[in-house]
Structure 1
Amino acid sequence: MCLAIPAQIVELQEAGMARVRVGESHTFLTASMMLLPEPPQIGDYVIVHAGFALHTLSPQEARDSLAALRELAERCTFYGKRTIGTFRVLGAEDIYAVYKMANC
């Protein structure tokens, strides 16, 4: 199973690329916007998978998706006794943990 993550566009770049922020974290990615049907704007939320924005989301849809991922991470225990629930925001480590769980 693959995991696509909601991210907010913070900077539009050349050649159809954009810098996006993952959730409320300090994780930023560069993703291609070329698959989107409409030109994106700064502040838009997109679903990013494998370096490509697949579609846009409303702010509420992005919040709901991030909350669901956060809840999933909080309910799981990985690597012995360590739990993901100690994190307040969905960051790169949380995303990796959810990804690992999805591939179990």
Structure 2
Amino acid sequence: MVSHPAMRPMFARTHWGHQRRALRRGITAAMLYAGGSELTHGTMRTMAEVHSRRGRAPVDPELYQFWIESLITTVAECDPRYAPELEPRWRQALQPMIDAFIEAY
């Protein structure tokens, strides 16, 4: 939330237990989506709609760059198996989801 001033207000009413589970499911779905899984297309459409300007949790497309930086920083700090050479793979795996979200915005 400190990566951009617009972030903190977006999470003012967040139930963090629900958010943690949603983020875990979303990242898993993003990885499967990037890998070409047909099963995740509906999930991606639903998530993109939630974060579109018409959704219940709209996210301005310019903010995704800050989100991905924060996520990668967190993974690097918290995952003992993280290695710097994995960073491009994280970015590559998350980019199709971000592209879908931006397109749906």
Q: TM-score range by the shorter chain?
A: 0.3 to 0.5
More strand by share: 1
TM-score using structure 1 length: 0.37
RCO comparison, higher one (Cα < 8 Å, 6+): 2
More helix by share: 2
